[in-house]
Amino acid sequence: MVPPPPSNKPHVCLSTILIMGSMALMDAYLVEQNQGPRKIGVCIMVTVGDICFLIVLRYVAVWVGAEVRTAKRGYAMILWFLYIFVLEIKVYFIYQNYKADRKSLDTIARKALTLLLSVSVPVLYIILVGIDHMEYVRAFKKKEEIRNRLFWVVVDLLDILDIQANLWEPQKKGLPLWTEGLMFFYCYILLLILPCVSLSEISMQGINIVPHKMMLYPILSLVTINIITLLIRGGNLIFYKDMRVSGILMGKNLIAIVLKTCSFVQYKSHMQNVPSALGVELQKNTTPHSQPMPAPPQVLIQDLTSLPEVTVCDHT
């Protein structure tokens, strides 16, 4: 099946360059972590994998570029899922190599890996959303509200990546094996699902975007990110004395919990007021029709068929 020509070629080129550039840097990490004959085998393996990925990306990215100026986000979700699925597999092997080689404490390389993920993943999400190309959203207020919601998605992505980065950055005391595996795959699932939920909310709204009805992602992020990641950081700090826990992101989670709770309360009160306001409006509209119609003017027709009586006068 031949894909249609993209309506936004710079969008396709930018997303393709970002995806393949981040993949190439991940491949460089994997190759450098192996020595001797194994290094050549790993190089051949990642090259073949990148060629296959590029073939699939050629079709998917063009389809995304064809729908970027519409309310559809189906291929954008497919591209996001494909990218994160492959990227996190490479991150897992890099993390396992760092874990096996505890003598190598190359802090700069590990920090660079964290920086690479914290830039490429949120930027790709912003490109896929294409918020600046939403011509079907005419109201400036609605567009700004959507931008604010997407900002929270980007912050949540950085929050998830910070949890993952604690696994490969230098640490004085390692976490238990089951804790590390649970943390990695929990973040992996969140990176796969939550951005797709946000993209699907925009897609389902279509041209009649009503931002206050896009409540699925805020509810999921409140539970899975703001509450659970706060518990993860608190548990690592209390039980495992992990000093790499970010106090700033813990504060962000607390603020987000308060703000989103207030938003939910306001939304609930808004939905309760809508039926009453609608009933009052209907009552106003039906009141003039319920009044009795004035009686039509009656026309009295005088009976002129009978002649008046004539009095006869006697003439003398």
Burial annotation 55-80 (CB, 10 A radius, 16+ → b, else e): eebeebbbbbbbbbbbbbbebbbebb
Q: Strand, helix or coil at 224?
A: helix
Quick check: is 297 in a domain?
Answer: no
Quick check: is 113 in a domain?
Answer: yes
pLDDT of residue 73: 77
Total structural domains within the chain: 1
The size of the chain, in residues, is 316
244 with 171: CB under 8 angstroms? Answer: yes
Quick check: is 299 in a domain?
Answer: no
pLDDT of residue 105: 64
222 with 252: CB under 8 angstroms? Answer: no
Domain that holds residue 143: 9-279
Quick check: is 307 in a domain?
Answer: no
pLDDT of residue 188: 96
pLDDT of residue 307: 45
CA trace torsion 60, 24, 191, 41 (10° rounding): 100
pLDDT per position in the chain (316 positions), as tens? Answer: 555 565 567 778 888 899 999 999 999 999 998 887 888 999 999 999 999 999 998 888 878 877 766 667 788 888 999 999 999 999 999 999 888 876 666 788 899 999 999 999 999 999 888 765 565 566 666 677 777 888 899 999 999 999 999 888 876 666 788 888 999 999 999 999 999 998 888 776 655 555 556 788 989 999 999 999 999 999 888 888 877 888 899 999 999 999 988 888 887 787 777 655 444 444 554 444 444 455 555 544 444 444 444 444 444 3
Quick check: is 309 in a domain?
Answer: no
Quick check: is 304 in a domain?
Answer: no
Q: Give the whole-angstrom CA distance, residue 103 versus residue 97.
A: 11
Sign for the pseudo-dihedral over CA of 48, 53, 59, 61: negative
Quick check: is 305 in a domain?
Answer: no
Neighbours of 194 (CB within 10 A): 19
pTM: predicted TM-score of the whole model, two decimal places: 0.80
pLDDT of residue 205: 60
Residue 67 Cα distances to 4, 12, 71, 130, angstroms = 10, 11, 8, 10
Q: Residue 237's Cα: distance from chain center in Å?
A: 30
Quick check: is 284 in a domain?
Answer: no
206: CB partners within 8 A, 6+ apart: 71, 136
Of the candidates 75, 110, 295, 34, the one whose C-alpha atom is nearest the C-alpha of residue 203 is 75
Q: Give the whole-angstrom CA distance, residue 164 versus residue 121.
A: 13
